Every structure is written in structure tokens, then in C-alpha cells.
Amino acid sequence: MKTIIYLSLLILIAFLFSSVEINSYQILERSLPPVLGACLGGVLACTSIVVSVLSGSSKETKQKAKTSQKYSRFIASLEKDVKILVICLCFIVALPYLRTLDYPLALSIFDLPPEYLKQKLFSSLEIFIASIAFMVIYELVTVLITILKNMMVIHDTDS
């Protein structure tokens, strides 16, 4: 229930901040794909650091990690978050193209023209998806830093 409330609030915020002005939404369309792509690359680089630290650990440390439920949950959560980030990146790349298509369905609400509603919807979607992506990136960075700190503690106790 908490997640639904957060997502609903995020959709509302995205709708309020969305714009139908071409100059406004083109800023998002030009800047979001490279930013999210670079963040994905950074997340994958951080993940490789964690793996390399674990690879250089003693057999005992590797065994602890292999049998640790915390580490297993971390890996499962990391996989889920990276997949969400990749999906967000795909949508962010595809939405500008989808905005240009003509759709046979014309919807009018409160006497607003269909083109206005289409631009508002796509701008809202871009902001919503970007927000989800940035929250996932924040979570990933926080978790990766925590894991690196814990790996350093494990290395200190092995010495």
C-alpha cells in the first residue's frame, strides 16, 4: 500500500511539473538518455569493484559471502535494480519517438485539445520514469557504498 501511495504521489508530481512547451520537453529528451546511460555504466563499474574485492578475498571470506543471506539479498536486489534502470533507460530513449507518432484515438478532457493532452502525457511519463531511475540509482549507490564499507571490515578482520 505504501508503494502505491508513493507511486501515486510521484505521478502527481510528474504531471504537475510536466510541460507541453517544445523547448521544455526537448531539454529532457536530449539530456536524459546520456545521463541515465552514464549512470548505468557507473553502477556496473561499482558492481565490478565489489566483485573484484570479493575475488581477492580469502577463501573463508568467499565462503562467508556465499552462505550469507545478506549477500544473497544484496545480489538479488542489485539484479532487480539494474534491470529497472535498464528498462527506464529503454523507455527514456523510446518516448521521444513515440511522442511523434499519430494515434487513432483522440481523447479530450475538460475541453483540452488532444494534442495538448498527448504532449502533457508524454512529458509526465518522461519525468516519472526519470524520477524512478534516479531513485534506483540513489539506492544502488547507497547499497554499494555500504557493501564496500562492509568488505573493508571483513578484510581488516582477516589480516
Distance of alpha carbon 85 from alpha carbon 89, whole angstroms: 6
> CA 34, CA 92: separation in Å to the nearest integer?
10
User: pLDDT band at residue 132, thresholds of 50, 70 and 90?
Assistant: very high
Q: What are phi and psi of 129, to 5 degrees?
A: -65, -40
What residues does each domain of the chain span?
Answer: 2-158
Digit-coded pLDDT (tens) for 26-75: 888 899 889 888 888 888 887 787 777 777 766 776 777 777 787 778 77
Q: Which residues contact 118 (CB under 8 A, 6 or more apart)?
A: 99, 103
Res. 156: pLDDT tops 60? no
